[in-house]
């Protein structure tokens, strides 16, 4: 008999069979997009309104989906399905951002210093540390960011929710303040394997702020204290974003696939 069950049931089952986690396999993310978990004929699966998100699990193994497509493969090899490229996935070690030595770091090492040199006395704080009048500046930042992303970003509204508006407890956020204005937001969540870096949002009018915002994320002691690598997601069909992330010298850059019935 089909019944809806907690999302954590699938997460626990996938971890038990040794699944390598990815950017989407997070309770916080799945709750954010409104996904639901189901148990049907001994088969456990997660879906949204359109598609089954990951390979179903039955009797401790991946199995075929009742639908023609599985959105994210989780490294599964399911009989009768072909691979279809979905996105890249970037994995970083925060400790790699300590010294940034060598030619491969030359561009980022140079650029990351430019914004703080031109804008001293910045602060990087949790949401609860913001004053009310500083909170008001968040809205203008998000509005400007959304306008800039109209043509080159999938799920921009969802990212705005992650950046500030969603009240899901699993989302962590820090804000960059300069002259009492919020000029940047970092937002992330976790699963058993990674810190998932969901959003790096900056005032696009400020040159090299994007580089600095990522740098303070990776060197933040609160991030380091977790002792995990960071999953910085993909590139959302954006060649500029891919080129930017490549310059950060990822520990791993791998392809993520959808599974489509042959």
pLDDT for 145 equals 86
- Same domain? 75 vs 93: no
Alpha-helical regions (H) of 20-111: 27-32, 106-111
Which of 44, 59, 79 corresponds to the end of one domain?
A: 79
Give the domain CATH number at 178.
3.40.630.30
Nearest to 201 by CA among 242, 246, 155, 141: 141
DSSP H or E stretch at residue 156: helix 156-160
pLDDT for 146 equals 85
Q: What is the mean pLDDT of residues 225-234?
A: 96
Domain presence at residue 136: yes
Calpha distance 45→52 (Å, rounded):
7
Which of 36, 60, 79 corresponds to the end of one domain?
A: 79
- Same domain? 156 vs 233: yes
pLDDT tens string 205-215? 999 999 999 99
Least confident of 69-73, 86-90, 219-223, 233-237: 233-237
Domain that holds residue 252: 89-256
Q: What is the domain count for the chain?
A: 2
- Same domain? 153 vs 198: yes
- Same domain? 113 vs 48: no
- Same domain? 50 vs 157: no
Percent of the chain with pLDDT over 90: 78
- Same domain? 11 vs 141: no
Q: Would you say 185 and 241 are in contact if contact means Cβ atoms under 8 Å apart?
A: no
pLDDT for 64 equals 86
Domain presence at residue 214: yes
Residue 176 has pLDDT above 90, yes or no: yes
- Same domain? 118 vs 37: no
- Same domain? 75 vs 100: no
Domain presence at residue 84: no
- Same domain? 100 vs 222: yes
pTM of the model: 0.93
- Same domain? 93 vs 75: no
Residue 28, CB-side half-sphere exposure with 13 Å CA sphere: 22
- Same domain? 147 vs 121: yes
Q: What is the mean pLDDT of residues 13-42?
A: 94
Stronger pLDDT, 129 or 78, i.e. the higher one = 129
Which of 56, 79, 102 corresponds to the end of one domain?
A: 79
- Same domain? 162 vs 245: yes
pLDDT tens string 29-86? 999 999 999 999 889 999 998 899 999 999 999 988 888 899 999 988 888 899 999 9
């Amino acid at each position: 008999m089909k019944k809806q069950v907690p999302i954590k049931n699938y997460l626990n089952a996938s971890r038990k069979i040794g699944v390598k986690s990815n950017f989407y396999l997070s309770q916080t993310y799945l709750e954010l997009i409104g996904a639901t978990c189901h148990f049907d004929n001994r088969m456990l699966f997660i879906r949204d309104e359109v598609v089954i998100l990951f390979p179903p699990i039955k009797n401790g193994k991946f199995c075929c989906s009742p639908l023609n497509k599985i959105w994210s493969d989780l490294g599964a090899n399911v009989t009768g399905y072909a691979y279809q490229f979905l996105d890249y996935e970037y994995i970083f070690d925060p400790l790699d951002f300590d010294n940034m030595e060598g030619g491969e770091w030359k561009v980022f090492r140079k650029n990351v210093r430019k914004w703080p040199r031109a804008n001293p006395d910045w602060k990087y704080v949790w949401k609860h540390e913001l004053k009310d009048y500083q909170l008001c500046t968040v809205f203008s930042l998000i509005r400007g960011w959304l306008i800039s992303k109209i043509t080159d970003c999938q799920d921009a509204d969802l990212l705005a929710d992650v950046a500030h508006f969603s009240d899901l407890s699993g989302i962590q956020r820090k804000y960059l303040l300069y002259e009492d204005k919020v000029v940047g937001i970092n937002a992330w969540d976790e699963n058993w394997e990674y810190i998932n870096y969901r959003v790096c949002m900056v005032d696009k009018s400020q040159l090299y702020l994007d580089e600095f915002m990522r740098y303070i994320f990776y060197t933040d002691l609160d991030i380091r204290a977790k002792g995990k690598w960071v999953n910085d997601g993909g590139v959302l069909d954006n060649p500029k974003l891919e080129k930017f992330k490549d310059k950060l010298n990822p520990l791993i850059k791998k392809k993520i696939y959808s599974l489509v019935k042959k």
